[in-house]
Chain A
């Protein structure tokens, strides 16, 4: 009789079970692989979306100024200390980086052929002044025999830049060595220009004109720090959305990195472009860089408290793209942030951060990089294209 014995049947069942379990385990592993692969794939898709969003922002500056939406163009005006719009360029107003400027004015002449815009690498000629700041300081009229001639040009340019474009625009526009020459002051300070400071002139009034000097704002620029005189930025200037490096003790050695556009004769500071409302990170209100030559709005920071100031400002300085969701609920969540800063090392640095949080796996990936893109002047020109609305910006 042909039939299976019980033993044969049991053996066959056992073998079958082994095969079935092996197959099941294999399919389970394969299934997990697929799920993992799809998870990674979704994350990659989201990261790619973040990358292109970031690059788009680096090139076109929508976070600072929306050419298609008037409500996103609030940085095209100037403001007073109460936050009310005032005519662009008003003295002691708060300039903004997309405000109008009159290029036909000779003081806006940044023509490539105008040698006043070039660097001169001379040394400041004052025996007690051991910072060598280049001949821009001479253009800045320190001890200059002709305070009303060419030497005044740089100061006027900077006054107008600052009043019109604000701190961030000012830094972004200027060739590297100018700022120092600016704060070192004019030879003749205009009496009455700022009633908050004493009226002084360089010649004749200072008890020791070699050691006590006055900056462009009429303030004393000799500042005892680290046991020696230091030529510091005016405090108001210094406290304006700036970040002192943690190594503050060595800050007075701050070198510039004057390679190409890099390098401003600044003093261990960082300043950032403020995004427009709706693009601010973490839901923080937009933190506009609102400082004039005389005052700062909402910056009740103790003297030399710059290190602690930056964290409070940072979240309001970082543009977070508001509409970057690319998938349904449950997909990886994308956050893209863009921060534009200038500091002693680099003018116009853009830092991008992409954060992807996967609710399925619970993992978070954070990628930071420094994209190359348009500078402020390039972005201003873009807004004057006809198909971008032909804004009146550099006329």
Chain B
């Protein structure tokens, strides 16, 4: 009887060993990959949730800013016009008394009453970072060198002139914010344009328009919608479920001295915050109405799949014309102590009031609202 293994047997044993090792390595690798994938999914969920919450911030900024700007050439006066409380926004140069206070004929939405921003309508925006925003500027570099006789260096905290900044041009020693910035940047009084509009007419147009192409990796990730509530949405009748307080009502003295009920509160909004690639369309019918089917490969099922993977949060907010106020440093006159050890320009900037009102409250909704 021979004790030596045959070559075939040796090859077989080797094959078994190699196969076993390979299987073990494969199992370890698969387990590792599965763990990593699971972690990745979980992390993506957190990232999406965070992105959705960032949209709340974006939507609030939108509501604040569009209470005053963004409706054409003229500044407006708030979601409820501060001149007579009419439902706005109404341009500053238009009479808010024209029409009823609920349906002012001079409101920016008067020409198309069923479209944004009329009460009962919603807007949608898909967020992405533009390659270059409109009228993009960059800060000028700072120059610590004294630049002229009698002029202080710009980092000199004793520069009292910039203590006098104000926003409203009141009678007194107030200056505009732009003057404050100039004071902090003697070498380059104004910021630099990213695209110099002086080069040519085309460059000027590019400067104004910006470059709206989304930066890589920023498109299809988040969006928000803003629904402007009607008076019935916050009259305290518990329809919808979150309508628990009558936010209308109240009386006041109008411009003619008459005591009369206030117009309805038109400053309450439902904010929908989304993280996903549906671009903020609520339904496929909206996609079709907007002619945006190509964004979803002309397939409703694809849109539905995207919707199914999104994180959507709903909030309510109420806007107010309350604009804040200046802090003590922002409004008072030149400070008597010249050697104080802080930076006055910081106080000036931080003491700015909001020129677009404020948000009175924010409320997370735990169920989908009927309209958004």
Binding site for B on A (CB under 8 A): 2-3, 23, 27, 30-31, 33-34, 37-38, 40-41, 44-45, 48, 51-52, 55, 59-60, 103, 109-115, 117-123, 130-134, 136, 175-177, 250, 253-263, 265, 345, 371-379, 381-382, 384-387, 390, 394
Whether A132 pairs with B39 at a CB distance below 8 angstroms is: no
Smallest distance from the beta carbon of A370 to chain B beta carbons, Å?
Answer: 11
Determine whether B25 belongs to the interface, using a CB cutoff of 8 Å to chain A. Answer: yes
Determine whether B31 belongs to the interface, using a CB cutoff of 8 Å to chain A. Answer: yes
Which residue of chain B has its CB nearest to the CB of A378?
Answer: B363
Smallest distance from the beta carbon of A267 to chain B beta carbons, Å?
Answer: 9
Would you list 15 pairs from A and B whose C-beta atoms are within 8 A, ordered by A residue?
A60-B366, A112-B80, A112-B247, A113-B85, A113-B265, A130-B333, A253-B328, A256-B351, A258-B323, A259-B324, A372-B53, A378-B364, A381-B244, A385-B244, A387-B241
Compute how far the CA of A59 lies from the CA of B320 in the bound complex, rounded to whole angstroms: 21
Whether B324 pairs with A381 at a CB distance below 8 angstroms is: no
Whether A119 pairs with B332 at a CB distance below 8 angstroms is: no
Report the stretch among B90-98, B126-134, B288-296, B339-347 that lies at the interface.
B339-347
Report chain B residues within 8 Å CB of A250: 340-342
Report chain A residues within 8 Å CB of B351: 255-258
Report chain B residues within 8 Å CB of A37: 32, 35-36
Report chain A residues within 8 Å CB of B342: 250, 253
Determine whether B177 belongs to the interface, using a CB cutoff of 8 Å to chain A. Answer: no
Smallest distance from the beta carbon of A290 to chain B beta carbons, Å?
Answer: 25
Compute how far the CA of A115 lies from the CA of B262 in the bound complex, rounded to whole angstroms: 11
Whether A371 pairs with B43 at a CB distance below 8 angstroms is: no
Within 8 A of A (CB), among B327-343: 327-333, 340-342
Report the stretch among B105-113, B139-147, B354-362 that lies at the interface.
B354-362
Whether B245 pairs with A133 at a CB distance below 8 angstroms is: no
Compute how far the CA of A254 lies from the CA of B329 in the bound complex, rounded to whole angstroms: 8
Whether A34 pairs with B321 at a CB distance below 8 angstroms is: no
Within 8 A of A (CB), among B241-257: 241-242, 244-250, 252
Which of A2, A30, A41 sits near B38, CB closer than 8 Å?
A: A41
Whether A119 pairs with B364 at a CB distance below 8 angstroms is: no
Within 8 A of A (CB), among B54-76: 56-57, 60, 64
Whether A119 pairs with B323 at a CB distance below 8 angstroms is: yes
Report chain A residues within 8 Å CB of B64: 260
Determine whether B218 belongs to the interface, using a CB cutoff of 8 Å to chain A. Answer: no
Which residue of chain B has its CB nearest to the CB of A49?
Answer: B42
Whether B46 pairs with A51 at a CB distance below 8 angstroms is: yes
Whether A114 pairs with B324 at a CB distance below 8 angstroms is: no
Report chain A residues within 8 Å CB of B327: 254-258, 263, 265
A41/B249 contact (C-beta < 8 A), A257-B350, A257-B351 known: no
Report chain A residues within 8 Å CB of B82: 115, 118
Smallest distance from the beta carbon of A181 to chain B beta carbons, Å?
Answer: 10
7 A-B pairs with the lowest CB-CB distances in the bound complex, closest first: A258-B324, A378-B363, A132-B331, A377-B361, A113-B85, A59-B364, A255-B327
Determine whether B23 belongs to the interface, using a CB cutoff of 8 Å to chain A. Answer: no
Smallest distance from the beta carbon of B120 to chain A beta carbons, Å?
Answer: 17
Determine whether B316 belongs to the interface, using a CB cutoff of 8 Å to chain A. Answer: yes
Compute how far the CA of A3 lies from the CA of B4 in the bound complex, rounded to whole angstroms: 8
Which of B38, B332, B363 sits near A382, CB closer than 8 Å?
A: B363
Report chain A residues within 8 Å CB of B366: 60, 382, 385
Which residue of chain B has its CB nearest to the CB of A379?
Answer: B363
A112/B245 contact (C-beta < 8 A), A256-B351, A258-B352 known: no
Determine whether B371 belongs to the interface, using a CB cutoff of 8 Å to chain A. Answer: no
Determine whether B168 belongs to the interface, using a CB cutoff of 8 Å to chain A. Answer: yes
